[in-house]
Amino acid sequence: MRDAVTTLIKNYDVAGRYFDRNALDSLKSYFESGTARVQAAAAINSNAAALVKRAGAKLFEELPELIRPGGNAYTTRRFAACLRDMDYYLRYATYALVAGNTNVLDERVLQGLRETYNSLSVPIGPTVRGVQILKDLVKEQVAGAGIANIAFVDEPFDHITRELSERDI
C-alpha cells in the first residue's frame, strides 16, 4: 500500500525531477493533516460496527425493495453479505484516509469487483448509495470526535462511489 508520500516520491522519481513547489505544498498539507487523519481513524474504528449497522438501516429504509422477496438483500445470507461489504468499504476507506491516498482502494477493493458483482447479480446503484450514506455517517462521527476540518474524509468514499459509478456492473 502506498501513501501520499511514497506516491509523490515515485511520481517525481519516474520523471527524474526534484520536488517543486507543488510537491512540497502537497507534503506539507499531508503532514499537517496527519493528526486529524489518525484521530478520524480512531473515531471510525471505535464505532465501525454501529456505523455499518446505521448505514444499512438507512439504506434499507430508503430502498425497502432490497429486503423484500426478490430483492438483492432478501434472505439473511444476502442481508449479511451486504453489511459485510459495507464493512469492507468502511475499513479500506479508513486505510486510504490515513494514507492520504486512494491506491489501496484500487488495489484491494475495486479491482475485480466488476466480475464479482456481475457473477452475483449485485445492483450497483444501491451499493453506491450505501457508500454515500456511510460517508455521511462517518463525517458526523468524525466531527463529533472534535475534529474541526473533516474535508479529507470525503476523498476515499468519493473515490469508491466514482469508480463504482463509472463501471458498468
With the C-alpha atoms ordered 157, 85, 130, 39, is the resulting torsion angle positive or negative?
negative
- Write down the pTM of the prediction: 0.89
Rounded to whole angstroms, the Cα distance separating 42 from 35 reads 11
The mean pLDDT of 39-64, rounded to a whole number, is 98
Rounded to whole angstroms, the Cα distance separating 44 from 10 reads 30
Separation in Å, CA 100 to CA 3, 57, 62, 138, 144? 6, 29, 31, 16, 21
For the cut 80, the answer to whether the pLDDT of residue 167 exceeds it is: no
For the cut 80, the answer to whether the pLDDT of residue 52 exceeds it is: yes
The mean pLDDT of 4-11, rounded to a whole number, is 93
The mean pLDDT of 30-43, rounded to a whole number, is 95
**How much is the CA Rg of the chain, to the nearest whole Å?**
18
List domains and CATH numbers for the chain: 1-32 (no CATH), 34-166 (1.10.490.20)
